[in-house]
A and B are shown apart, each in its own frame.
Chain A
C-alpha cells in the first residue's frame, strides 16, 4: 500500500516519510536519483566499483542529515553537490597517496575503439574524462553528461558563472582533442 503511495510522492513527502522511519520512502529516493548519481560518480572517478562506494556514501550522508535538509535547493542539486564533493575529495586523496599513476590525466593512453560497441564507447568516454583535470571534468560532467544548466552547475560547484563558462569551454576543447585522438569524432 505504502509502496504504491511512495512511488508517486514528491521529494518533500518522501523525505518526511523517511524521517518518520519509512525505509520504503528512502528506497524510492535512492531509486529516483540512482541514475543521476551513477552518471556523476562513474564519469568523475572512472571506476565503477569505487563510484558505487561513493554513490552509497552520498545517500548515506543524506540519510544522516536529512532532518537538516530545508529544501532551499532541489534534492537533485543537493545530492549532486554531495556526490561531486565526495568524488573530488577521493581524487585529491588518491593524488596524495600516489595511487593515481598510470591512470592519471597526465600520462594516460586512450585505446582506439570500435564505434559499434556501446560498452567500449562508455569506457573510452570514461577514460577520456579521466584525462581531464578534475576542475574541468566536474564542469563537463555536470553540464554535458548530467544535463544541469550552467546556473545549476555554478550553484553545485559554488563557483561564479563566469568561471563555470570558461572551464566549460576549456574542458570541451580539451575533451574534443582527446576524443578525436581516440577516433570517435
Chain B
C-alpha cells in the first residue's frame, strides 16, 4: 500500500473513531453537581450555625464582664472596664525612690 493510501486510511480510521461514554452520562453529571451543591450548602449552614453559637457565647461573656465591672466599681468608664480605675502608675516609682 502506498504512503498516500496509508495516510488516507489512517485519517479515515481516526475520523470514524467515535468512542462514547456509558449511557446516562448527562444524568451522572447533573446528579454530581446537585450532590456537590447540597454538600457545600450543608457545610455553609453548619459553619453559620457554629459561628452563631460562638458569637452568642462571646456576647454573653462580654455582658457578664460589663455587669461585673458595674457592680464592682459602680461605673462604666474605660479605666473601670480595663481594670485601671484604682491603679496609679506613680506609686511603684515613688515607693522605689522612698526605699
Residues of A bordering B, CB below 8 Å: 23, 26-27, 30-31, 34-35, 38-39, 42-43, 48, 51-52, 55-56, 59-60, 63, 121-122, 125-126, 140, 144-145, 147, 172, 175-176, 179-180, 184-185
> Nearest Cβ in chain A — how far from B14, in angstroms?
4
The interface size of chain B toward A, counting residues with CB under 8 Å, comes to 25
- Please state if B19 and A38 are interface contacts (CB–CB under 8 Å): yes
Decide if the interface of chain A is mainly helix, strand, loop or mixed. Answer: helix
Cβ contacts B2-44/A at 8 Å (1 or 0 each): 0000110111011111111110011011101110100000000
Q: A140-B14, A144-B14, A185-B10 are in contact. Are A26 and B19 (CB under 8 A)?
A: no
Separation in Å of the B52 CB from the closest CB of chain A?
Answer: 27
Report B-chain residues with C-beta under 8 Å of the C-beta of A179: 10, 13
Question: Who on chain A is nearest to B6 by CB?
Answer: A185
- The contact of A175 among B1, B10, B32, by CB within 8 Å, is B10
> B25's contact among A43, A52, A126, A176, by CB below 8 Å, is which?
A52
**Which residues of chain A have C-beta atoms less than 8 A from B30's C-beta?**
23, 26-27, 30
Please, could you name 9 A-B residue pairs with CB atoms under 8 Å apart, sorted by A?
A: A31-B26, A51-B21, A56-B28, A59-B33, A60-B29, A121-B13, A122-B18, A144-B11, A179-B10
